[in-house]
Structure 1
Amino acid sequence: MTRATARPGRTVSALMALAVAAGTFMAALTAAPAAQADSWRDKQYWLAESGITKAWEVSKGANVKIAVIDSGVDGTHPDLAGVLAGGSDMSGAGSPDGRLSIGAKPEHGTLVATLLAGRGHRPASAKASPSASPSASASASPSSSPGSDGLVGVAPEAQLLSVSTWLGSDNPGGKTDQEQIPEAVRWAVDNGARVINISLGSTSPEWPQSWDAAFLYAEQKDVVIVAAAGNRVGGNVQVGAPATIPGVLTVAGLSRRGTASIDSSSQGISIGVAAPAEDLVGGLPGGGYADWAGTSGATPIVAGVAALIRSEWPEMTAKQVINRIVSTARDAGVPGKDPLYGYGVLDAEAALKADVPETKVNPLGSMSDWIRVHRRGNAETSAASAAPAPSDVAPTLPEPTVPVAQAPSPLDGAVPALVVLGFGSLLLGIVGAAGFHLRRVLRNPPAATGPGDTGVLDTAGSRDRH
């Protein structure tokens, strides 16, 4: 795991710049009328290509709660009718139930929620019938429910908890990411979340020490946390926190061709699996739809698969759920685990159907072990002393700032060449200098050595004479 420490002045509290650091860059924002919603469903290529429609033959996520720690989820969106099972606001600036869209990217949470657990909806012109009931609509796949509009999420029978946070700009509620994120994680765990989706990230691999106990608490309560690796187009060449936290299932982004996305593919050793991150679609607050891209969208695809697994095997541990996802991924890039694809490309069908050996170890590490080694403290004590709003922990981050989003520099790919050229120039310089010195020595041979001489050329004396 990436080592992360909380040294003042080194940790960057950009931390949760929504769209900038972790995940969203919009191709279009369109408030599409209901009559056009089927065209949006047609764009959900990942349902078939990632094996999700086949995985639905086993599970659709029933009886699993997924917490969406984000900018708030608009439960009035037609595709989210009946999906929200509760929520809370951690910012001090949102609605008590976490459904008000807030922060620098207020639409972000609703986009994530529809991709994760959207249920589609019946068009207004459809006549009511037993087969058109909300429950039937919720469990139907796009191909088996003709006439059903809107988006279907990866886990369409799961329920969501909206945990709203104000991130990416100054919070009028006054609470920083140091306070909001650990409070959000603990609230989600205490309110029954079996999976937590964090489509947020930072430009730093380090996280504040105030987060330790909350993520340890989730680990000890057997909750799967899935986080976005971050986007190069948002300034993240390397994976940023919280996706660097041990035990978290970190998701990298794929292009439409299934290769590592240039824009949505931060790299790092903490990446667990890669999922589609380009040409995505999602719902907007107020009932519209949008084309979007980023690891913010890849993350709920993987979190949805985790919910499918937890629904089918309720007693399966979080370690086993994560192991099932990464061990069934299709290897990509260099053989074995690598910093672009992790263990490989998500294969939802295999994750639900393959015979996977049981494990007692999370392949992505343990927060408990990490704290014991790097914080030089006792993990049990750290968890016991954690409070929803830690006031006894000195701030370790500067005030949040939003880095400017920049496209990947053309120089990124040229670095190795520059290094080679630089080394070549240095080598030629050394060889040239040696040849010049040799010619000087041949023109001015040293005096014959006597019995007491060492026989070593006195180059310093030679330089003095010339």
Structure 2
Amino acid sequence: MTPRGVLRSGVALATIVASVLLLGASATPPPVPDDPADPTRAAEYWLDGARIREAWQTTRGDGVTIAVIDTGIGKVPGVFDEAVVGGTDVSGSGSPDGRTPVGAIDGNHGSWVASLAAGRGAADGKGMIGVAPEADLLSISVGFGAAAAVPFTDQVAKAMRWAVDNGADIINLSFTTNTLDWDKSWDEAFLYAFEHDVVVVVAAGNRGSGTNIIGAPATIPGVLTVGGVDQTGTASLEASTQGITIGIAAPSEGLRGVSADGKVIQWSGTSGAAPIVAGIAALIRSAHPDLDAANVINRIIKTAIAVPGMTKLPDPLYGYGLIDAQAAITADVPKVSENPMGDLAEWVRLFRRADTVPQPEPTAAPVEVPPLPAADAPTDPGSPLLPSAESLRYGTLPLIAFTVPGILVALGVTAAARRIRSARARTPHS
């Protein structure tokens, strides 16, 4: 891995840096111990590619707290011990301070994320260093998968509130649910964060792990969703996904991270792109403590580097473009009054608590119908073998009326026939 930054349309990093120097960028020594020749430090190509080293001339994140809601931040001397100022476990299987890695497979994930956001780095300028090396960290351990002792949605809702109540200025969420919708309990939890002026940074997810579309919490209005790019600034095919909720793109391939045992590993995914952006958000909040969360997010997206081929904003691959830490801190960006990534409160009003449309009231008076006449009193049905008035009226009498004349006619015809035969018998034959 060469110590090169994110490239834009094939333009070498050296050209970008040269153009910055021509604009009068500061050439003073870096304010943090930093040895770019160190192999580990050199592999952190995003420090130059996203202009983070330049941003360090202004701030390193002092006074800002980043909450990492993940599998727990390991106890690594020099990297995390001074950085982590508090923590808790919401999984039911970790330690009370949130520092015991949770999960046999993903246990190191939280440490990798934290080291990218605010790892301290060694005093001699070597080894892994985070984007905001003077920011504080909160470690909130959660458990992923079906084996978790507490339902995952409950864990996240509780973790969000704990982070806010314990001083988080920024919350990093490097996970996805692979579904567009989210549990209703997250409505209140995320609203709680937004109402307390917290920037929430979320990973978009990775195609390589089966995420073909962005899922919650990256779909929640108001969060800053981070898509991933490779070392050339091109949207990553495996270590990112796409969707209209992406707000910004950051490196997601060839990343470095410190495991819970202190070892530096290489990894990829928007799980790493998100804490890079969370660290830059910490730099902005440190340099501009007067800015609210909406304006921190606005600075990040308004100073993003456009990628050739982007036809609309936000772009489903890059959002508003590639992250630029120096510009996000120093550029003159007009303030906004609303979060450019959406309004969760309005979404909840429309889709969760929509007011019922009043039912129309009748305008005509009801029509009064006169009562029906009283029914006839019931009669004794009598014996079925004896004739009744009804059977006589409708049965016997009509039968007599038609039968008697018929009999008389038949008798008359018979008598006439007999007379004719008698008369023929008395007449002589010739």
Aligned counterpart, 1:203? 178
2:241 to 266, 269, 282: 266
Which of the residues 184, 187, 200 maps onto 2:159?
A: 184
Q: Check 1:95–1:46 CA distance in 2 against 1; reply closer, same or farther (3 A cut).
A: same
Instruction: For residue 78 of structure 1, report the CA deviation from its aligned partner.
Output: 3.2
Q: Which runs of structure 2 are paired with 1:60-99 in the superposition (5 Å)?
A: 60-99=60-99
- Deviation of 1:77 after TM superposition, in Å, equals 4.2
* Structure 2 CA distance for aligned equivalents of residues 320 and 92 of structure 1: 36
Aligned-partner residue type, residue 177 of structure 1: F
Q: Deviations over 1:209-242 (max 9, x none)?
A: 1111000110111100000000000111111110
Matched, 1:59 2:73: no
Matched, 1:151 2:128: yes
- Residue among 355, 373, 377 paired with 2:350: 373
For the residue of structure 1 that corresponds to 2:197, the secondary structure is: coil
Task: Give the structure 1 partner of residue 32 of structure 2.
Answer: none
Could you say what secondary structure the match of 1:259 adopts?
A: coil
Report SS of the residue matched to 1:152.
coil
**CA offsets, 1:131-172, max 9 Å, x none?**
xxxxxx4xxxxxxxxx4332110000000000000113411x
Contact persistence 1:70–1:165 (CA under 8 A): yes
Contact 1:72 1:162 in 2 (8 A): yes
Counterpart contact for 1:198–1:225, Cα < 8 Å: yes
Q: Deviations over 1:296-330 (max 9, x none)?
A: 00000000010011111112110000000001001
Give yes or no for the alignment of 1:106 onto 2:112. Answer: no
Q: What residue is the counterpart of 1:385 in the other structure?
A: none
1:353 deviation in Å?
0.8
Separation in 2, partners of 1:353, 1:61: 14
Structure 2 CA distance for partners of 1:185 and 1:377, relative to 1, 3 Å: farther
- Residue number among 147, 167, 170 corresponding to 1:170 in the alignment: 147
Name the aligned partner's letter for residue 318 of structure 2.
Y
Structure 1 runs, 4 residues or longer, greater than 3 Å off: none
Q: Distance in 2 between matches of 1:315 and 1:359?
A: 13
Aligned with residue 292 of structure 1, among 264, 267, 270: 267
Work out whether residues 256 and 265 of structure 2, in 8 Å CA contact, stay in contact via their aligned partners in 1.
Answer: yes
Structure 2 distance, partners of 1:59, 1:274, is 22
Range with bigger deviation, 326-335 or 297-306: 326-335
| Matched residue, 2:331 | 354
What is the TM-score with the length of structure 2 in the denominator? 0.72
**Structure 2: runs of 5 or more not aligned:** 1-36, 356-430
Q: Is the 8 A contact 2:200 2:223 kept in 1?
A: yes
- CA–CA distance in structure 2, aligned partners of residues 177 and 361 of structure 1: 30
Q: Give 2:41's aligned residue.
A: 41
**1:76 Cα offset (Å):** 2.4
> For 1:182-261, what aligned pairs fall within 5 Å after superposition?
182-261=157-236
Distance 1:52 1:98 in 2: 29
> RMSD value over aligned CA atoms?
1.4
**One-letter amino acid matched to 1:247:** G
Task: Map 1:308-327; keep pairs closer than 5 Å.
Answer: 308-327=283-302
Separation in 2 of the partners of 1:150 and 1:79? 9
Letter in 2 for 1:93: S
- State the distance in 2 between where 1:105 and 1:193 align: 24
Equivalent pair of 1:58/1:312 in contact (CA under 8 Å)? yes
Which whole-Å CA distance do the structure 1 matches of 2:92 and 2:320 have between them? 39
Corresponding residue for 1:120?
A: 121
Query: Counterpart amino acid of 1:84?
Result: V
**d(CA) in 2 for partners of 1:163, 1:74:** 11
Residue 311 of structure 2 is matched in structure 1 by 335
For residues 168 and 78 of structure 1, the distance between their equivalents in structure 2, rounded to whole angstroms, comes to 31
Q: Deviations over 1:80-103 (max 9, x none)?
A: 230000000001110000000012
Identity %: 51
Q: With a CA cutoff of 8 Å and minimum separation of 6, indicate the structure with the bigger relative contact order.
A: 1
Structure 2 distance, partners of 1:288, 1:38, is 16
**Which secondary structure state, in structure 2, belongs to the residue aligned with residue 80 of structure 1?**
coil
Q: For residue 78 of structure 1, give the secondary structure of its aligned residue in structure 2.
A: coil
- The SS at the match of 2:79 is helix
Counterpart of 1:66 in 2: which secondary structure? strand
Q: Which residue of 2 aligns with 1:277?
A: 252
Matches within 5 A, 1:444-455: none
Tell me, in whole angstroms, the C-alpha distance in 1 between the residues paired with 2:250 and 2:163. Answer: 24
Shift of 1:377: 5.3
Whichever residue aligns with residue 45 of structure 1, its letter is Y
TM-aligned CA distance change 1:219 to 1:188, over 3 Å: same
Give the equivalent residue in structure 2 for 1:125: none
Q: Does the CA-based 8 Å contact 2:248-2:323 persist in structure 1?
A: yes
Q: Is the 8 A contact 2:299 2:328 kept in 1?
A: yes
* 1:80–1:120 CA contact under 8 A, matched in 2: no
Number of paired residues? 316
SS of the residue 1:85 aligns to: strand
How far apart, CA to CA, are the structure 2 residues paired with 1:348 and 1:375?
Answer: 37
Distance in 1, matches of 2:316 and 2:180, equals 14
Which residue is 2:340 aligned to?
A: 363
Q: What is the alpha-carbon distance in structure 1 between the residues aligned to residue 77 and residue 353 of structure 2? A: 47
Preserved contact between residue 73 and residue 101 of structure 2 (Cα < 8 Å): yes
Structure 1 residue runs without a partner (length 5+): 1-36, 122-136, 138-146, 379-466
Opposite residue 39 of structure 1, the aligned amino acid is P
Contact 1:69–1:165 (8 Å) recurs in 2: yes
Aligned positions of 1:372-391 closer than 5 A:
372-376=349-353
| Match runs of 1:352-431 below 5 Å | 352-376=329-353
Tell me which amino acid in the other structure corresponds to 2:128: L
Q: Which amino acid aligns with 1:53?
A: R
Question: Does the 8 Å contact 1:79/1:150 carry over to 2?
Answer: no
Whether the 8 Å contact between 2:298 and 2:336 is mirrored in structure 1 is yes
Partner secondary structure for residue 202 of structure 2: strand
Q: CA deviation at 1:39?
A: 2.1
Change (3 A) 1:106 1:88: same
